[in-house]
Structure 1
Amino acid sequence: MSKVLQFACHFFAVCVSSNTPTAVYLGIMKHNGVPVDADLMKSRQQEAEQQMQRIRNEIIMLIGDVEIGANCGTKAFEDYLYQTLKLPVMKVTASNKEAADDASMIMLKEWCDANRPELSSLFTLVQECRKWSKIKSTYIDGYLKYLNSATGRIHPDFFALSTETGRMNCKTPKAQNLPRKSNDPIRVRNFIKAPEDHLILSLDFSQIELRVGAFYCRDRTMMETYKNGGDIHAATTSVIFSCTYEEAQDKHRKEYKEQRTIVKNVNFGTFYGLFPKGLQSTLKFKAGVEKSVDECEAIIRNLKSGYSALTTWQEETKRDAAGKMYIETWLGRRRYLSNIRSENWGLKSFAERCALNTPIQVTAADILKLAIVRILEGLPSRPWLKPILQIHDELTFIIPKEKLNEAVIFIRECMEQQPFPEFDLPLVAEASAGESFGNLEELEG
């Protein structure tokens, strides 16, 4: 049998065993729909409009009659910043023009704090304006637009194969991209509300990408941490900051909070080829932690030294991908990388990062899909179990209150089952439940 035919047969088998049942499951989710509180959304819509008007008025008081549009993204506003105020260009777009995105606003505010403090409040207001604009347009207007008047629910379209990494996504509306609690003044998750006498139940794979990454790179420290039920963030803290595992877990240490924050961001970028400047930017804008490029370089150096098998795996993976011009996952999915040999550093670097993240993200997606297949097989005997959402590594259901324990046991068994014979690390599914998606309480066990 030719290699092409072998690959075609394998791909067909994957479709039959995983993708087709997943598509059926996604169809069931669309049919069930996501129950929402329309009255609460309409109330929050008015609140958002009032907040946006207040912020716009304050901005106008500072800059006059400059046209700012809905979210301070107009050309007139950019010209005001860079030509009228003559502020420094902190960032440029892909077309080499002055940027005015959120990261630029943060950097400009920091520059103004030190050099032109009278302008600092402008950038705080711009960020607030954009936050409220995003919330209103995406999570309030967007949800209300697709609210089915007959069912009182939204019924998103879900797609099993629309991303290069195999991750599922949805649109009309984009119900997967819910805002973080820290950036959500109106509690969008509370819009999703269980019917009377029912609960929303959510089960989320714990650190699935880190576990898959440890499986691929075979680093002894990572694998032993997971096999022993340990704390991977504490293990990485001890590696990076040269402290004991016990010290890394001590919440009373004055360095604990900052180190833990750094390590979480480092861990989730570890397998994707961190660069010092990229880490510095991530820590600054996502975690609010200021570190110099030299400090970030030291963090990465210590990480590679402590997890030596990780570095070896990364170099071997990039070299193998460059030779084949594609990367293949453990279960046989391929992603072709046409720029992996490019002389353009940017194109080559991006292709190398794809070579590193594809096996992990695709395998994590496959593990979730295999769990979905097992859940699907159990739905006919559990007609009360209603899948409604899939967000990243999390599956969400509507269940009668009295079925909570039975549902958790069944779904957890489906998710924590060994996905394929060679996978030798434990999977953990964390469960939480509540009457609204914004008030889920963690369940023990």
Structure 2
Amino acid sequence: MDGVFGKGHHLHLIDGSAFIFRAYHALPPLTRKSDGLPIGAVAGFCNMLWKYVQDARGADAPTHVAVIFDHSSKTFRNEIYPLYKANRPEPPEDLRPQFPLTREATRAFNIACIETAGYEADDIIAALSCRARDAGGRVTIISSDKDLMQLVGGGVEMLDPIKGKPIGPDEVREKFGVGPERVVDVQALAGDSVDNVPGAPGIGIKTAAQLIEEFGDLETLLARAGEIKQPKRRQTLIDHAEQIRISKRLVELDCDTPLEFGLETLEVRDPDAEALIEFLNRMEFRTLTGRVAERFGAAAPAPVVVDAPAAEAGAALPPIDRSRYEVIRDMAALTGWLAGIADTGIVAFDTETTGLDEMAAELVGVSLCTGPGRACYIPLGHVGEGAPGDLFGGPVLAEGQIDRAQALAALKPMLEDDSVLKIGQNIKYDVKILARAGIRVAPVDDTMLMSYVLNAGTHNHGMDELAATYLGHACVPIKDLIGSGKAQIGFQQVAIDKAAEYAAEDAEVTWRLWHHFRPQLSRERVSTAYELLERPMVPVLAEMEMAGIRIDADHLRRMSSAFAQQMAGLEAEIHELAGGSFNVGSPKQLGEILFERMGLAGGKQGKTGAFSTSAEVLEDLAAEGHDLPARVLDWRGLSKLKSTYTDALPLHVNSETGRVHTSYSIAGAQTGRLASTDPNLQNIPVRTDEGRRIREAFVAGPGMRLVSLDYSQIELRILAHVARIPALVQAFRDGIDIHAMTASQMFGVPVEGMDPMIRRRAKAINFGVIYGISGFGLARNLRIPRAEAQAFIDTYFERFPEIRVYMDRTVAEAKQDGFVRTLFGRRINTPGINQSGPAAGGARRAAINAPIQGAAADIIRRAMIRMPAAIRDLPAKMLLQVHDELVFEVEESAVPELIARARQVMETAAEPALQLDVPLIVDAGTGLNWAEAH
């Protein structure tokens, strides 16, 4: 290299600040073992830099590179507009000491580390990009920050570091509606609420792009604003012209940012192995230290202590190498693998199928892993590319595959062997696929559930995210194999060699994640929650989901027809109230009718300029006595029931079983509640006649009955226990109507002969307090003035001061620990609890509610786990779980026995782990359909 930057050179500019915040939010809180120093962001940052160094090779490798950081929060823009970024919260306390360490890490990697006082990182990136471009070189900005997109073009491109996708002029136009050269004009008009750039009120990105495209540039638009036809938009631009010009100065990057160095000083240099290893070892990053030492052929120093995030497995592991995977094409090879698994007693496995519906998908292949680099793929159902069909027109299998029945017969003993632990990621899917093939997989461990019990509320638990976060590894994207959209193919059409790399990698990643998470369970004191609440749910839910439930499709079709007629009648009424026809399903048109044509108060416009017509807005208007929004709410309710249930449910009937098979997500809600999907059977409304009629469509089979058992007020009972409220505890023990008792305590009225409206208000407060309801929220629910609602809440806390004590104590613990625990040891992380601003209230309410809702979820899980053994000898199956309710299908003669046994299991589910101060009560019902049973 000649030392002068110019043509043929390629400069990489890494947005260091974005890397830091990505790393901080991607990883759970981590501390250095030796002194408790927060290092989570540093760990993630180092893993990202190491991946960059490894990937930045080949023909298109950079010749020059730098990592750019923000120096401080105050810049020259604050002199232009003092409120610039005024709404930005201060960095979290545990992140601040990590900022200097990320700079030190950059220098340890021997990469230029740049920051300039008074200027943002984006300005430095702009100045370097402009200089490199003017010198004839190429520039790649490694960031997805929209504010940098104005620099794209003329030899400057961006690269999204998360998706690995380039961002060029076409991608910029897709995001902003204009080319890079006009991005600043669009941003000046639209403003930015995050950075507190004012822009033009009521004008969003889409409208701004249309205006700039029409008038050419911002100054021309402002000069000719009087030509705009829409009165409101015209006046906005005229009235706020100077504010818009200031906004442009705020969003426009400064290519003249002073730099005290030349581009030639940014030449790529290999890391100094000794310095880098010393830094990583000092940070106690054992895995990464080992990888770096192996890469440079150096001896890894003895670690100070067990490392931070990525090597809980106990020893540095080599990087994942897909070239080492084996394709099993004959029984001899499979037999050898099975013998090895029998020796080790542990295997990670995964299934590949023709689709995502476990009740319809066919098995395509199985992957196995017994250690790092020791993984294989057994293809069973791949079709030949371009192969002719068989005599019946079906596809012909590709060559080099074991007969499926023969392979499954060989795998079955191992998969059912109680002495061999089977590890999976979201293993419930694989359990169901193999159950349909007559194989009972047990015992099992699930890395998704391990991550969930450790990190609920911190991040998602999908394999790709876990691999990137904890292993520093990017998995092969499934889209790379099967494509997307209309061109998407089935996995059975993927070439076997390509499929093997993908599938065996999944098995190896699962094996590594298991070794990473397993030791943490006991250290973080969540082993009991995992072993008793998460792991045993897999076979229970798999059996429930496979059982499915019958529906009466004719009943739903009749309801759909009735809903359509009711909706048509409501539409006619709505059009008459509006003084003309319009699309009732269009929020934009409805907003114009309500707030422009009718002139109703309370209209709020979003960035797109459209009025909000959310349910809350319409409910407020309806409460004020306006008929049109009330009728629209009725229409929307029917429309949702029709599209979500009466039209959609028959489409979910499985052609083989004739039943609907929902799927339960175990690791969805952070409180432990299950989530029902495809179809969602947990959100069918039960307080309306229409919702109850939909439940009528869920029916029992011939000679059978549906039985529903439902916990009575379980969350209030748990609140009485955890908050130690003597009045509530005694009321529950005495079997008193808790809502009437609360009303009597609050309003000084006798329980006997109580006005139902007073009891209703007490009920709303009882349940609202659990969810941290505000005076505003209660006022909305009860349709009463806000001051009256707040007075109710104040009176409630006066009568039951123990609740306030519980709330304050729980929030304090959450702020100190970063999590709360349920009565059964489930840890629920509260990552936003120490934030300030509007998000703080939501985080506080979530922290207060989590131990209560989480304990209720834990109790019903404990009941579900015990239920199969309790009813195994009965002609009955557990079909559904809907929050606090379990639904069974049972032969008519066995209904009384089923109710007695199931009630006993549910009412004693907390025991022996916990003896509640209040009894758990379960209501039971039975009928030919779900509505009758409930």
Paired position in structure 1 for 2:417 = none
Unaligned runs of 5+ in 1: 114-119, 285-290
Please report how far the alpha carbon of residue 101 of structure 1 lies from its aligned counterpart in structure 2 after TM superposition.
Answer: 1.8
The alpha-carbon distance between structure 1 residues 265 and 386, as it changes in their structure 2 partners (threshold 3 A), is same
The 2-side partners of 1:311 and 1:354 are apart by 15
The 2-side partners of 1:124 and 1:339 are apart by 36
Paired position in structure 2 for 1:303 = 796
The alpha-carbon distance between structure 1 residues 92 and 191, as it changes in their structure 2 partners (threshold 3 A), is farther
Is 1:336 paired with 2:851?
no
The alpha-carbon distance between structure 1 residues 143 and 73, as it changes in their structure 2 partners (threshold 3 A), is same
Paired position in structure 2 for 1:237 = 743
The alpha-carbon distance between structure 1 residues 262 and 124, as it changes in their structure 2 partners (threshold 3 A), is same
Task: Compare relative contact order (CA 8 Å, sep 6+) and give the higher one, 1 or 2.
Answer: 1
The 1-side partners of 2:691 and 2:845 are apart by 35
> In structure 1, what residue type is equivalent to 2:807?
Q
Verify the 8 A CA contact 1:26 1:159 in the aligned structure 2.
Answer: no
Paired position in structure 2 for 1:103 = 616
Paired position in structure 2 for 1:215 = 721
Paired position in structure 2 for 1:408 = 899
Paired position in structure 2 for 1:117 = none
> In structure 2, what residue type is equivalent to 1:270?
V
Please report how far the alpha carbon of residue 110 of structure 1 lies from its aligned counterpart in structure 2 after TM superposition.
Answer: 4.2
The 1-side partners of 2:758 and 2:578 are apart by 40
> In structure 2, what residue type is equivalent to 1:326?
F
| Secondary structure class of the residue paired with 2:616 | helix
Paired position in structure 1 for 2:787 = 294
Provide the aligned length of Structure 1 versus Structure 2.
417
> In structure 2, what residue type is equivalent to 1:13?
T
| Secondary structure class of the residue paired with 1:388 | strand
Among 347, 364, 370, the alignment partner of 2:839 is 347
The 1-side partners of 2:557 and 2:607 are apart by 38
Among 351, 364, 369, the alignment partner of 2:856 is 364
- Per-residue CA deviation, residues 32-82 of structure 1 (Å, 9 max, x unaligned), is 1111111111222222222223333443445466541xx533312222322
| Secondary structure class of the residue paired with 1:202 | strand
The alpha-carbon distance between structure 1 residues 110 and 343, as it changes in their structure 2 partners (threshold 3 A), is closer
Paired position in structure 2 for 1:179 = 685
Among 849, 859, 872, the alignment partner of 1:380 is 872
Among 49, 54, 71, the alignment partner of 2:564 is 49
The alpha-carbon distance between structure 1 residues 60 and 271, as it changes in their structure 2 partners (threshold 3 A), is closer
Please report how far the alpha carbon of residue 171 of structure 1 lies from its aligned counterpart in structure 2 after TM superposition.
Answer: 0.9
Among 86, 92, 96, the alignment partner of 2:599 is 86
Paired position in structure 2 for 1:425 = 918
TM-score by length of 2: 0.43
| Secondary structure class of the residue paired with 1:426 | coil
- Per-residue CA deviation, residues 187-236 of structure 1 (Å, 9 max, x unaligned), is 11110111222111000011110111111101111112222322221221
TM-score by length of 1: 0.87
Among 812, 829, 833, the alignment partner of 1:319 is 812
The 2-side partners of 1:335 and 1:397 are apart by 30
The 2-side partners of 1:334 and 1:440 are apart by 35
Verify the 8 A CA contact 2:595 2:603 in the aligned structure 1.
Answer: no
Paired position in structure 2 for 1:277 = 776
Verify the 8 A CA contact 1:44 1:186 in the aligned structure 2.
Answer: no
Among 889, 899, 908, the alignment partner of 1:398 is 889
Please report how far the alpha carbon of residue 273 of structure 1 lies from its aligned counterpart in structure 2 after TM superposition.
Answer: 2.7
The alpha-carbon distance between structure 1 residues 332 and 294, as it changes in their structure 2 partners (threshold 3 A), is same
Paired position in structure 1 for 2:585 = 72
| Secondary structure class of the residue paired with 1:155 | coil
RMSD: 2.5
Verify the 8 A CA contact 1:227 1:425 in the aligned structure 2.
Answer: yes
Verify the 8 A CA contact 1:91 1:104 in the aligned structure 2.
Answer: no
What is the correspondence of 1:241-252 to structure 2 with a 5 Å cutoff?
241-243=747-749, 247-248=750-751, 250=752, 252=753
Verify the 8 A CA contact 2:706 2:889 in the aligned structure 1.
Answer: yes
Is 1:36 paired with 2:551?
yes
| Secondary structure class of the residue paired with 2:641 | helix
- Per-residue CA deviation, residues 114-140 of structure 1 (Å, 9 max, x unaligned), is xxxxxx443343122212211110111
Verify the 8 A CA contact 1:67 1:74 in the aligned structure 2.
Answer: no
| Secondary structure class of the residue paired with 1:330 | coil
| Secondary structure class of the residue paired with 1:195 | coil
> In structure 2, what residue type is equivalent to 1:314?
M
| Secondary structure class of the residue paired with 1:82 | helix
Paired position in structure 1 for 2:662 = 156
| Secondary structure class of the residue paired with 1:154 | coil
> In structure 1, what residue type is equivalent to 2:528?
A
Verify the 8 A CA contact 2:692 2:931 in the aligned structure 1.
Answer: no
Unaligned runs of 5+ in 2: 1-32, 34-305, 307-453, 455-518
The alpha-carbon distance between structure 1 residues 16 and 337, as it changes in their structure 2 partners (threshold 3 A), is closer
Please report how far the alpha carbon of residue 90 of structure 1 lies from its aligned counterpart in structure 2 after TM superposition.
Answer: 5.2
